[in-house]
Structure formats: structure tokens, C-alpha cells
Amino acid sequence: MNTDQLLCTFTVAEKNYGVIVDNVQEVLANHQITDIPLAPPGVMGLMNIRGRIVPAIALRKVLRLEEVVKNEEDDDEDNIFNIIINHDGEQVGLMVDQIGDIITINPEDVEAPPETLKGAARRFMNGVFSVQGTLHLLLDLDTLLEDEMCTRSLSQSTRSVLQ
């Protein structure tokens, strides 16, 4: 277990995260996304990736981070990146703000999430690691993709309203 691991780092709402590179298939910029009515709130839409239909996950929503606040200074930076992940035989896209570097870490350097990390986000973390003094959170994709933000379609809950 002491072998080094490659991580793909990225930022969402100015926070730093990482996922294990083995799961990452590719990264796409500004890919066309089709809305899905009644979809779970965390699923932004569907992408066509070379003939395969892949859902795009709005990490910002699933991690319960604040909505995009337009920063006047970097208005040319409003690209949306999609990290395409292979997960359990299916592909999903994680929508992120910025793609960082691919880094090598030793699993021993990953620490448990600090007690101060509260709220929804804590459930989705496998740990914390530091890259050149900046803390990154290691995402637990299994928990993340099973969260109700990703799985619960707007069906039963809204039904009474429609009647």
C-alpha cells in the first residue's frame, strides 16, 4: 500500500480537490451539455462523448458549495471543465472550474479530514493532503455518486404539486 499514487487535482469554487488518476479517462473543456428535465439537482445534463451518453455532475451543487459568484477580474476564465471518470463500468463527467496538475503522493501523506471540516462535504472526503503547502481534499467517488443530489430524480416529491 505504500506505492505512490497519481492524483488529478482541480478546483471548485476556489477550493482544491483531487481524484485518483486511475479513474480518470480524459478531461474535456466546454463540452456541449443537454439539460435533463426532472433530473436530480446534481446532474446538470447529458454529454455525447464519442457516441456514449455521459451524465455531467455539478460538483458545486453536490458538495453544497455556493453558486457561482462572478468575479469581474477573471471574466475570461469562465471555462467549464469536465473530468470524465470511469466509475463502476459507467462514465460520468465531474464539472469543475479549473484543472490543476497531476501530482504524485504517498498514501501515508493522506490524513483524515480535520474535525473542523463540517457539513455535507465531509461525507465525500477520503482524506486531506497537502501540495506545496496548499490543502487538497481527496474525493470519495463512491459516496459522492450515491448521494441523493446525484440519484434522486424529481419525481415523487413534486407529484402532489402537479396534481
Partner 1 sequence: MPQNDKALQSFLIESDENLAQLEQDIVALEREPEDAERVASAFRAIHTIKGTCGFFGFSHLESLTHLMEDILGAMRDGQVQMNLDTAAALLEGVDEIRVFLKRIDSDGSDGEAAPQNLMDRLQSLVPEKADTQPSPVMAASDSDTDSSVTINHDETEQQHQTELQAQEHHEHADKDASASDNATTSGSAAAESTVRVDVVLLDKLMNVVGELVLTRNQLLQHAASQNDSQLLNLSQRLNLVTSELQEGLMQTRMQPIRNAWATYPRLLRDLEKKTGKKVTPILKGGDTELDRSLLEAIRDPLIHLVRNAVDHGIETPEARLAAGKPEAGTLTLSAYHESGNVTVEISDDGKGLDSQKIIRRALEAGLLHPDQVDSLSEREKIRYIFQPGFSTAETVNDLSGRGVGLDVVRNNVERIGGSIDIKSTPGQGTTFKLKIPLTLAIVPALIVRCLHQRFAIPQVNLMEVVYVEAERLEEDIQTVHDALVYRLRGRLLPLVDMRTLMHMGTPDKQHDQFILVLTADQQEFGLLVDDVRDTEEIVVKPLGRLLKDNPCFAGATIMGDGRVALILDVKSTADFAGVTRQDRKLNQQAAMQDQRHQPINVAENYLLVRPNDQAGRSAISLSKVSRLEEISCDRIEYSAGREVIQYRGKILPLIRLGNNRQPVAEESEMIRIVVQPTEFGEVGLVVNDIIDIVSDDKAEIEKVAQSDGIVGAGILQGHITDFIDSDALLRHYRNLNSNGGHDEH
Instruction: Please report, as ranges, the residues that interact with partner 1 according to CB under 8 A.
Output: 32, 34-40, 43, 45-48, 51-55, 57, 88, 90, 92, 145, 150-155, 158-159, 162-163
Task: Give the integer Cα–Cα distance in Å for 150 and 62.
Answer: 7
- The DSSP secondary-structure symbol of 124 reads G
Instruction: Please identify, using beta-carbon distances, which residue of 11 and 153 lies nearer to partner 1.
Output: 153
Three-state secondary structure of 69-106:
CCCHHHHHHCCCEEEEEEECCEEEEEEECEEEEEEEEC
Residue 34 vs 130, nearer CB to partner 1: 34
**C-beta closer to partner 1: residue 124 or 129:** 124
In angstroms, give the least distance from the CB of 87 to partner 1.
Answer: 9
For 10, residues 6+ apart whose C-beta sits below 8 A from its C-beta are 16, 17, 18, 19, 81, 83, 94, 96, 97, 98, 99, 100
Least distance CB 141 / partner 1 (angstroms): 12
> Smallest distance, Å, CB 120 to partner 1?
18
Phi, psi of 96 (to 5 degrees): -130, 165
Q: Which is nearer to partner 1, 139 or 150 (CB)?
A: 150
Whole-number minimum distance, CB 47 to partner 1, in Å? 7
